[in-house]
Amino acid sequence: MTPLAALSVYRWGSRTAADYFCPVCGILPFRKPSAPTARERAEGVRPFEGWAVNTRCLEGFDPSAVPVRRIHGSALVAERPG
């Protein structure tokens, strides 16, 4: 298991999200999701304060046993940082 301090961090787009990945094998075990855009905030979307976890990295956990929320990336609207 790789400790958090040894993981690499990648930031993209608005630079408010952080993807943590192993610099040796490349797996992304978790990420800190991005902040809502101005449009999303205006629509009432609240910031997500938690972490997104790649459950495929957890021993003894069956990812198919939990509900899935699908996100269509092609429908997302990018906002340039101001």
Give the pLDDT score at 46.
86
CA–CA dist 80, 82 (Å, integer)? 6
CA–CA dist 35, 46 (Å, integer)? 9
Please compute the mean of the pLDDT values over residues 50-70 and round it to a whole number: 87
Is residue 70 in some structural domain? yes
Beta-carbon contacts of 18 under 8 Å, excluding residues fewer than 6 positions away, are 9, 10, 11, 31, 32
CA–CA dist 8, 3 (Å, integer)? 11
Is residue 60 in some structural domain? yes
Residue 60 has pLDDT above 90, yes or no: yes
Residue 77 has pLDDT above 60, yes or no: yes
Q: Write the CATH number for 41.
A: 2.170.150.70
Residue 54 has pLDDT above 80, yes or no: yes
Q: Which amino acid does the sequence have at 9?
A: V
Is residue 50 in some structural domain? yes
Residue ranges making up the domain that contains 52: 4-75
- Report how many domains make up the chain: 1
Give the pLDDT score at 8.
92
For residues 8 and 37, the model is more confident at 8
